[in-house]
Amino acid sequence: MKASSFHYKTLKEAPKDAELISHRLMIRANMIKPLASGIYSWMPLGLKILNNVESIIRKNMDEYGCLEVLMPMVQPKSLWDETKRSEEMGPELLGFIDRNKREFYLGPTHEEVITDICRQELQSHKDLPKTFYQIQTKFRDEIRPRFGVMRGREFLMKDAYSFDLNEEGMNKSYQAMKECYQKIFDEIGFNYKIVKADSGAIGGNISEEFHVLADSGEDTLVFNDKDFSSNVELLDESLKKEIETKIAENDTNQIDSIYGKLSIKKGIEVGHIFELGNKYSEAMNLSVQHDNGQRILEMGCYGIGVSRIVAAAIEQNHDDKGIIFPKNISAFDCSLISINEKKSNSVREKAQEIYSFLIGNNIDVFYDDRDASPGIKFSDSNLMGNPYQIVISDNNIDKGILEVIERKNQAKTEITEKDLLSLFN
Amino acid sequence: MKASSFHYKTLKEAPKDAELISHRLMIRANMIKPLASGIYSWMPLGLKILNNVESIIRKNMDEYGCLEVLMPMVQPKSLWDETKRSEEMGPELLGFIDRNKREFYLGPTHEEVITDICRQELQSHKDLPKTFYQIQTKFRDEIRPRFGVMRGREFLMKDAYSFDLNEEGMNKSYQAMKECYQKIFDEIGFNYKIVKADSGAIGGNISEEFHVLADSGEDTLVFNDKDFSSNVELLDESLKKEIETKIAENDTNQIDSIYGKLSIKKGIEVGHIFELGNKYSEAMNLSVQHDNGQRILEMGCYGIGVSRIVAAAIEQNHDDKGIIFPKNISAFDCSLISINEKKSNSVREKAQEIYSFLIGNNIDVFYDDRDASPGIKFSDSNLMGNPYQIVISDNNIDKGILEVIERKNQAKTEITEKDLLSLFN
């Protein structure tokens, strides 16, 4: 892609209400554009990254045998009455009536809809186990939306639901999804922790959260050097208070507890998996024939905040120059920066040659062909966060080399053209 | 994909309210599942086809230099007040208030939102021309939703918007999109017509519709053997009446008119392109600096009914046994049908061998490995509509051949294994 054919208008300053670094950088890098409080449009650059995240999720879910569906955003209130969540969810559930005076909600989650589908679709134990998933727009009417897409009202989520005949099956489906999530977050390139969590309004007994470690995280996580790890929410009050005090005092030392020495970290929740048991299947009568009777199914549900992942990736990977995207989700494989190409024919020709060569080899390159100063090109490229910058200048052409800057550490290396593709292996 | 790992529960009967053949077949083939009036979930089979349609659209839009964005489904009413469409659109525009008492609509289209983005983003003629597009969920509160996803309330649409400095530029952008749409509909495999159309609530002077030809189409199209073609809506009242009478009488003869001899066909609208001019840019003050002044931009907009395309493909391609999907959008490249595989080890082994061979060669095959009668397997496969059925039976194994049935004409051929891949070239 050439800059002249793309749309990438960076800003020097972020809006004043943008406190969080990812929010500031996403606005400055022209990734998102606010439309209303907590509601954003994804601009071409941001959407490319969002689509990369989606692809990684979809690929791994498919590999784990999950079946993709697409459920509606608009859901009848009657379904939510069956599970009593119409009241339980509170005012985050945005309701409205259609022109025929029927009541609906804008779906914040899809347990009711998938359970309704499955009570029509699953008849026998032969139909089990099944895990359905979707990547779809949700709406939660947060009272105080903030932090950009980190806590927006309209957002993209991957939600999955498993159906099993018994608890043993549910455990298996849950463990498979846990493993699948690890593959997903590994592939994205996150440094993350899995912790025990509270099940909240979704319900069920067992749940775990996947947290991207970042100082700006809203959640506090504790873990020992064995297998204990938990969201601080689950601890008893006195231990919780002790931890909060330490955080307030910026004390990063470990803390003694009945769980042994605990380390404390801040995290951003990007995934949450639940063993739901029969909360929804019981309320909505989802059962199959089994042993001459009807058997209520055991469910699990599994969420990933797709839009939020983009913000979390930035919280974990940035410097004072801008964003450093992990290479599997960066918008482009590299940037191509031509120095003074309007004045130098040889720079322009060499840049075009390298551009065509990379495209021809399926390398998705962003070629900054604008008539802009090197300073502007470098600062825009640093903001965009592609893993490599390939610099074409008269000086480098004379030396017969290409200059490559690694975005992560700004390390400069000189390579020959024939070694160029090895960067992307 | 194996049937045992998929979810594909066909129905013998469609619901009584399903009049249209595509609606009936989509329900029977487990492609969609109704949730509420005009609101459907896409089941695994249907979604695969929908995703294929999306990919064809995305690829062609990208090749024409359009930039993909993703705008919100929830839109502030204030934007619609600027263009006065809050009233103009009538009750199809579904409104609601959020918990902070602010007024919103569920977006049926995005002219206002994209114009709002562009008045912030486009500053100079150097930023032009630009065409943005998205593939996104829309909501239109139809008073009488019917015909399944053909006229649903929540649906998937591809909408694109072009921005130019002057009319000449707008004409160019419009022509490029017209060409791009032809590539898209050719690639899908439609028999279609482009006709002059009414601009309706979208506005502008020039607009054309893309219609898939099908007897069940709601629109009537007329065309001569030269370059005149039009939606009947645009004709004068007396000619229109004459045509309606002929249709009522099932008279398929041509009709004499001031446009010469006119043929009459029924069509399903799947695309609509508009030269909007400055309707939105004027109302919302979208201008750029030019010649020492501000210049109001010229816009175009371009829609494709993505969900509707799936239904239209079925209207145009079906027989009394089920669906015959065009090969570029079919859920799978072929079906693999094993005859009595529970009783015959050699059938089971051969089917597994052919399955692995096809998968290994990137052929997306649906292997019906169920313990079901040949009759059920064939009728389910005919309903699903993949272009080829490869039949494995003891008889064929003895003869050393594979039997291939072309779904379209039910023609049977015998081929050797080494010729199998040539089917998919």
Residue A44: pLDDT over 90: yes
Mind listing the pLDDT tens digit for each residue in B175-193?
Answer: 999 999 999 999 999 999 9
CB A223 within 8 A of CB A266: no
Q: Where in chain A is the domain with CATH 3.40.50.800?
A: 334-424
- DSSP percent split of chain A into helix, strand, coil, nearest 5: 35, 30, 30
Q: How many CA atoms lie within 13 A of B177 on its CB side?
A: 34
Q: What is the pLDDT of residue A15?
A: 87
Q: In B, which residues are within 8 Å of A50 by CB distance?
A: 70
- Band (A361; pLDDT cuts 50, 70, 90): very high
Mind listing the pLDDT tens digit for each residue in A117-137?
Answer: 999 999 999 999 999 999 999
Q: What is the pLDDT of residue B200?
A: 81
- Please give the residue of chain B at the shortest CA–CA distance from A123: B9
CATH of domain A334-424: 3.40.50.800
- Please give the residue of chain B at the shortest CA–CA distance from A144: B100
Q: List, in order, residues 6 or more apart from B202 with CB less than 8 Å away.
A: B109, B111, B272, B274, B276, B301
Q: What is the pLDDT of residue A181?
A: 98
Q: What is the pLDDT of residue B313?
A: 98
How far does CA B38 lie from the centroid of its chain? 17
- Band (B425; pLDDT cuts 50, 70, 90): confident
Best CA proximity match to B214, nearest among B197, B231, B193, B196 = B193
Reading the block at residue A330, the tokens are 């960066």
User: Crossing angle of helices A167-188/A44-63, nearest 10°?
Assistant: 140
Q: What is the pLDDT of residue B146?
A: 87
Q: What is the pLDDT of residue A204?
A: 80
Mind listing the pLDDT tens digit for each residue in A274-318?
Answer: 999 999 999 999 999 998 899 999 999 999 999 999 999 999 999
Percentage of chain A lying above the pLDDT 90 cut? 90
Report the predicted TM-score, pTM, of the whole model to 2 decimal places: 0.97
Residue A237: pLDDT over 80: yes
Mind listing the pLDDT tens digit for each residue in B232-243?
Answer: 999 999 999 999
Q: Is the peptide bond before B387 cis (omega within 30 degrees of 0)?
A: no
Residue located via tokens 């175009």: B300
Q: Answer yes or no: do A67 and B141 touch at CB < 8 A.
A: no
Reading the block at residue B120, the tokens are 């912030």
Q: Answer yes or no: do A143 and B99 touch at CB < 8 A.
A: yes
- Band (B204; pLDDT cuts 50, 70, 90): confident
* Among candidates A33, A70, A98 on the partner chain, residue whose Cβ is nearest the Cβ of B117: A33
* Among candidates B41, B67, B72 on the partner chain, residue whose Cβ is nearest the Cβ of A44: B67
Classified as helix, coil or strand, B209 is: strand
Q: Answer yes or no: do B120 and A72 touch at CB < 8 A.
A: no
Mind listing the pLDDT tens digit for each residue in B243-265?
Answer: 988 888 888 789 999 999 999 99
Best CA proximity match to A341, nearest among A394, A405, A384 = A394
How far does CA A384 lie from the centroid of its chain? 18
What distance, in Å, lies between the first and last C-alpha atoms of chain A? 20
Q: What is the pLDDT of residue A376?
A: 97
Q: Count Cβ–Cβ pairs < 8 Å, chain A vs chain B.
A: 137
Q: What is the pLDDT of residue A304?
A: 98
Mean pLDDT lowest among A74-78, B142-146, B273-277: B142-146
Q: List, in order, residues 6 or more apart from A418 with CB less than 8 Å away.
A: none
CB B373 within 8 A of CB B341: no
Mind listing the pLDDT tens digit for each residue in B103-120?
Answer: 999 999 999 999 999 999
Mind listing the pLDDT tens digit for each residue in A83-92?
Answer: 999 998 889 9
Q: What is the pLDDT of residue A201?
A: 77
Q: In terms of DSSP H, where are the helices of B212-302?
A: 237-248, 279-283
Q: What is the pLDDT of residue B53?
A: 98
Q: Where in chain B is the domain with CATH 3.30.930.10?
A: 3-319
Q: What is the pLDDT of residue A392?
A: 97
User: Crossing angle of helices A306-316/A21-28, nearest 10°?
Assistant: 100
C-alpha distances in Å from residue A69, one per residue of A132, A161, A322, B30, B97:
7, 11, 37, 11, 29
Across chain B, what does the average pLDDT equal? 95
Mind listing the pLDDT tens digit for each residue in B210-227?
Answer: 999 999 999 999 999 998
Return the higher-pLDDT residue of A255 and B302.
Answer: B302
Reading the block at residue A395, the tokens are 């000086």
Q: What is the pLDDT of residue A31?
A: 98
B334-338 and B388-392 as β-strands: parallel, antiparallel, unpaired? Answer: parallel
Q: What is the pLDDT of residue B203?
A: 78
Considering only CA atoms, give the Rg of chain B. 25
Q: What is the pLDDT of residue A247?
A: 85
Buried b (16+ CB within 10 A) or exposed e, A255-269: bebebeebebbbbbb
Q: In B, which residues are within 8 Å of A95 by CB distance?
A: 96
CB B283 within 8 A of CB B297: no
Q: What is the pLDDT of residue B253?
A: 85
Give dist(CA A249, CA A241) in Å, integer: 12
Best CATH choice for the domain A3-319 from the list 3.40.1210.10, 3.40.50.300, 3.30.420.10, 3.30.930.10: 3.30.930.10
**Conformational region of residue B89, where left means phi above 0, alpha means psi within -120 to 50, and beta covers everything else:** alpha
Whether the ipTM is more than 0.95: the answer is yes
Question: CA A77, A79, A82: angle at the middle one, nearest 5?
Answer: 115
